[in-house]
Amino acid sequence: MKSFLGKLPVFLEAIKVSHSIFALPFAISAAFLASSGLPALGLFGKIVLAVVLARTAAMSCNRWADADLDAANPRTRIRAIPAGLLSRRSMAITTLVCCVSFALVCAWINQLALLLSPVALAFLIGYSYTKRFTSLSHLVLGAALGLSPIGAWVAVREEIALLPVLLGAAVLFWTAGFDIIYACQDRDFDERAGLYSIPKSLGVARALLTSRAFHVATVGLLVAVGYVGELGWIYALGVLCVVGLLAYEHSLVRPDDLSRVNLAFFTLNGLVSLVFMTAVVLQTVI
């Protein structure tokens, strides 16, 4: 137990638990939209638990699958497994435990959630391997995160509807857009390692343009969510704030200057998800 507790902070850093700020707020937003207000507390807890387990499974698998690549990449060789702080075996065990636990929580929620859980796991686990054969890996990652609001809606209403699909698509393009920005740092390594990415295929300049196009699509889909859900001015104000944050994000990165990628990637996108969630919660509750 002492050994486990000593390694827990290392593990949480390895799976980037702070990045839960990307998917979880959209799942919470969908839960509020599906409930037309505050969800039942017990069900809300199950939704949060499912998202945490799903994300932990995905990141543990990613660290296990990419251990050799991380060791070869100067930017990532300080990660826990290449640095010898955690073992690949521990990540594999964590992945398996979280996958099984995720399915059990889905069964606890309702039958449709259980039936759809293998689909979610296929995206969550499969993403780690996509960059080995396709430049569209960014979109697969986006789909993995985009399933979170759909899953939350299924948890509340036990159905799939247009509104959560639109929100999931918005999350897909938003995630793919910022992942492209992040991947620009590794363009040269991807070339050497034989990996696939949009920055490698199109070059950094065109990749950044593609990222902008994806974020324009994100805004359009968020507007569609407001229209379909008949949401009011609080939601509209939240979307306007998201537009401003995305515009600022793209002003920080240029093909010849990627020094502020981390600010653009983590800080601003974390704010995007939190601002959107706040707008949805206030709109539905008020």
On the question of pLDDT at 6 being above 80, the answer is: no
Query: Residue 16 has what pLDDT?
Result: 77
Q: What is the phi/psi pair of residue 254, to 5°?
A: -135, 160
Give the span between the Cα atoms of 195 and 52, in whole angstroms: 28
On the question of pLDDT at 134 being above 90, the answer is: yes
How wide is the angle at C-alpha 23 spanned by C-alphas 216 and 195, nearest 5°? Answer: 75
The per-residue pLDDT for range 52-97, each reduced to its tens digit, is 999 999 999 999 999 999 999 999 999 999 999 999 999 999 999 9
Contact 184/253 with Cβ under 8 angstroms? yes
On the question of pLDDT at 8 being above 80, the answer is: no
Query: Residue 4 has what pLDDT?
Result: 55
Query: Residue 266 has what pLDDT?
Result: 81
Give the span between the Cα atoms of 225 and 21, in whole angstroms: 21
Query: Residue 3 has what pLDDT?
Result: 59
Domains of the chain: 11-285 (1.10.357.140)
Q: Say which residue the tokens 């390692």 belong to.
A: 193
84 CB-contact burial (10 Å; exposed 0-12 / middle 13-18 / buried 19+): exposed
On the question of pLDDT at 217 being above 90, the answer is: yes
Average pLDDT, the chain: 94
